[in-house]
Structure 1
C-alpha cells in the first residue's frame, strides 16, 4: 500500500503551505488583507496537519527522506518586494496550495477505495478549506495583477 506516501506528502505540504502563508503575511504586512488572511489560512493548514494524525497513526507516513524523487513541496524562502513581488508571491502560494488540493483529492480516492469513513471525514473537514484558500488566492491575484503590471513603475 502506497497511501503512507501520500499521507506524508499531504502532512508535509500542509506544513510548507502554512509556513509560506506566514512568510507572505510578514513580507507584505503593508497589505492588511494579505497579512491577516494569510495568518488565518496558515492556522487552517496547521489544523489540517493535526487532523491527519488519526490516519497517519492507522496507515503510517512516508517522510520526505523516504518518499519518491520530486514528490514534495518547496516553500517560499523569502518574499519579494513591491506590487510585482506580491503578485509573484501569491502565485507561489497558489502553486503550493494546488499541490495540497490535488493531494487531498488523491487521499480521498484512497479513502473511498478503502471504505474508510474516518479518513473520508478528515478529508471532508479539510479539503473544502483548501478549495477556499485557492479561491481567495485567485481572487487576490486578479486584484493585484492590474496594479502590478500596468500601474506600478
Structure 2
C-alpha cells in the first residue's frame, strides 16, 4: 500500500501552505485583509495537519522516491508592491492547488479502503482548502488591475 506516501506528501504540503500563508500575511501586512486572512488560513492548515494525525498513526507516513517536482516548499520571502502581492498570492494558489488535488487522491484511497474515519477527515479538511482557493482566486482578481494596469 502506498497511501502512506500520499499522507506524508499531504502533511508536508499543508505545513508548507501554512508557512506560506504566514509569510505572505506578514510580508504584506500593509494590506489588512491579507494579513488577517492569511493568518486565519494558516491556522486552518495547522488544523488539517492535526486532523491527519489519527490516519497517519494508523497507516503510517513514508517518504517517496519521486523527484522534487511534486514537493513544494514554503515561500522563503515576499516581494514588494502590488506586483509582488499578486505574484506571492499566485505562488500560494499553486501550493493550495497541490494540497487540494492531494486531498482528492487521498479521498479516493479512503473510498477504496472504505475507511469512514479517513473520508470524514478528508471531507472536513478538503472543504477548507476549497475555501482557501476561493479566497485566493478572489483576492488575485482584486489585485490584478492595480498590479497590471495602474502600477508602473
TM-score range, shorter chain: over 0.9
Shift in Å, 1:67: 4.1
Alignment map for 1:1-153 (pairs within 5 Å): 1-63=1-63, 66-70=64-68, 71-153=70-152
Query: Partners in 2 of 1:59 and 1:67 — Cα distance?
Result: 18
Equivalent pair of 1:3/1:59 in contact (CA under 8 Å): yes
Query: Partners in 2 of 1:68 and 1:55 — Cα distance?
Result: 22
Query: Partners in 2 of 1:74 and 1:96 — Cα distance?
Result: 9
Shift in Å, 1:68: 2.1
Equivalent pair of 1:97/1:134 in contact (CA under 8 Å): yes
Shift in Å, 1:87: 0.1
What is the TM-score of this pair, normalised by structure 1?
A: 0.96
* TM superposition outliers: structure 1 runs of 4+ over 3 Å: none
Spell out, residue by residue over 1:54-87, the C-alpha distance to the aligned partner (whole angstroms, 9 max, x if none).
1100100014xx4422231122110000000000
Equivalent pair of 1:18/1:41 in contact (CA under 8 Å): yes
What is the TM-score of this pair, normalised by structure 2?
A: 0.97
Query: Partners in 2 of 1:40 and 1:75 — Cα distance?
Result: 17
Query: Partners in 2 of 1:61 and 1:39 — Cα distance?
Result: 27
Query: Partners in 1 of 2:65 and 2:114 — Cα distance?
Result: 25
Query: Partners in 1 of 2:62 and 2:117 — Cα distance?
Result: 20
Unpaired stretches in structure 2, ≥5 consecutive residues: none
Relative distance call for 1:41 and 1:67 in structure 2 (3 A) is farther
Equivalent pair of 1:5/1:67 in contact (CA under 8 Å): no
Query: Partners in 2 of 1:51 and 1:5 — Cα distance?
Result: 17
